[in-house]
Chain A
């Protein structure tokens, strides 16, 4: 069974530029999560999708971050414009359902904003 795929693995941009991350969850998983992991911290949930609908985006900085999950499969997370404090690893995870199912994590995208 293929795991959660993410790309790119690394990205370096200048502040005020835009960037997009892509996630392909495990086949058949209805729920998809995006987390932000700042160095030295645990992951923090940014947004949760159930199929192609948003379940929770209360911690997503909506003035600069956006995410979509068209067709309920792949997802894209965008930052526009990026700030220095957005430097972090962005993790995508998926689970069968949104209750107590195990979340499976991708390898993450490490973003450096200069």
Chain B
């Protein structure tokens, strides 16, 4: 069965610092991979997705993610974090149905 693992429950970074959130997937074939963000009291918003092709994917709000088959990873990155990026981030996999990781909560220190 397909699954994703987000090893970090909570990450704190300073505003302006770079960010990398980890995601590892388990799937036999080329997976469909997604990153969603959830702000407090809000639904989930899609940041970016990978289906095939270029392994570096650009998303909204300045985020990008890189698909690395050799490491079974799809890590999310941002070069400079803003205070408004504080939220919970979910990695997900699937085509017909999404399977989500448990999420990583991001705190940003002003």
Contacts and interface: CB of A to CB of B under 8 A. Distances in A.
Interface residues of B, number: 21
Given A105-B43, A107-B43, A99 B100 contact: no
Nearest to A10: B41
A48 interface: yes
Interface SS majority for chain A:
loop
Interface string A27-46: 00000000000001111110
Given A40-B102, A100-B51, A102-B49, A48 B41 contact: no
B49 A42 contact: no
Contacts of A40: 102-103
Contact of B102 (A42, A56, A93, A106): A42
A49 B49 CA distance: 22
B101 to A, nearest CB: 5
Nearest to B90: A42
A76 interface: no
A94 B23 CA distance: 24
Contacts, number: 50
Contacts of A42: 90, 92, 100-103
B110 to A, nearest CB: 26
A105 B97 contact: no
B30 interface: no
Interface in A51-75: 55-56
A93 B46 CA distance: 12
Interface of A: 3-4, 40-45, 48, 55-56, 91, 93, 98-100, 102-108
20 contacts: A3-B43, A4-B43, A40-B103, A41-B102, A42-B90, A42-B92, A42-B102, A43-B90, A43-B98, A48-B96, A48-B97, A56-B96, A93-B43, A100-B51, A100-B95, A102-B46, A102-B49, A105-B36, A105-B45, A107-B43
Question: 4 closest A-B pairs (Cβ-Cβ)?
Answer: A42-B100, A105-B43, A105-B44, A107-B43
